[in-house]
Chains A and B, each alone.
Chain A
Amino acid sequence: DAGVTQSPTHLIKTRGQQVTLRCSPISGHKSVSWYQQVLGQGPQFIFQYYEKEERGRGNFPDRFSARQFPNYSSELNVNALLLGDSALYLCASSAGMNTEAFFGQGTRLTVV
């Protein structure tokens, strides 16, 4: 069985641009969460989606948005990129609410 897959693995964008990151959860998992990990820090919670609905949001501006599709895959969108958005973006897959989270390898976003 494939684990959590994220694409692309690396990405370079210019300030002010928009970016879309993708995540496919483990087969059968219905919850997808997104985390931002800035260099030297632990991951920070951005969103949780369960059954295609946003269930919670961390302390991130409205420039960050996401959605979950009928097949439970998810996209994270970030508009008007800032240099400070440079980070590793991690997707976590869970079978449901309050169950273990399994992480993908992440997408390394560099904003120049």
Chain B
Amino acid sequence: GEDVEQSLFLSVREGDSSVINCTYTDSSSTYLYWYKQEPGAGLQLLTYIFSNMDMKQDQRLTVLLNKKDKHLSLRIADTQTGDSAIYFCAERFSGGGADGLTFGKGTHLIIQP
């Protein structure tokens, strides 16, 4: 089955760039997503990329996709304390009439002052 993997923790200094990495297994995935989850909260959709794209930029966020290596990354420029959260990579799956998301376990982003 599909599997999405992420490193569990990332620690960066305030003002530096954060790069969160993810690998996925389903080569037929059409869309890949990044969600943010703050403590005790639901998931906030940050950005997504279509599988025929290599890069997508949205303000401080840059998504890079290497489809050959099935590697996705999220770069957050000028990281702020408000960026402290868990970041989930997700791939869309379709099959049997349904479509849904397969998530990684999430990367805890820790901001050092």
Contacts and interface: CB of A to CB of B under 8 A. Distances in A.
Contact of A55 (B45, B98, B102): B98
A103 interface: yes
B39 to A, nearest CB: 11
Given A98-B30, A98-B92, A98-B94, A48 B99 contact: yes
Interface stretch (B13-21, B56-64, B67-75, B103-111): B103-111
A101 B98 contact: no
B10 interface: no
A103 B42 contact: yes
Contact of A102 (B45, B94, B98): B45
Nearest to B8: A40
Given A98-B92, A100-B45, A106-B42, A43 B98 contact: no
A100 B34 CA distance: 11
B94 A101 contact: no
Contacts, number: 60
A48 B98 contact: yes
Interface of B: prevailing SS: strand
B105 A56 contact: no
Given A55-B97, A56-B98, A97-B99, A105 B41 contact: yes
Given A90-B42, A106-B42, A44 B99 contact: no
Given A90-B43, A100-B45, A101-B45, A56 B106 contact: no
Interface pairs A-B: 9 shortest CB-CB? A56-B98, A42-B103, A103-B43, A45-B100, A105-B42, A55-B98, A103-B42, A48-B98, A106-B42
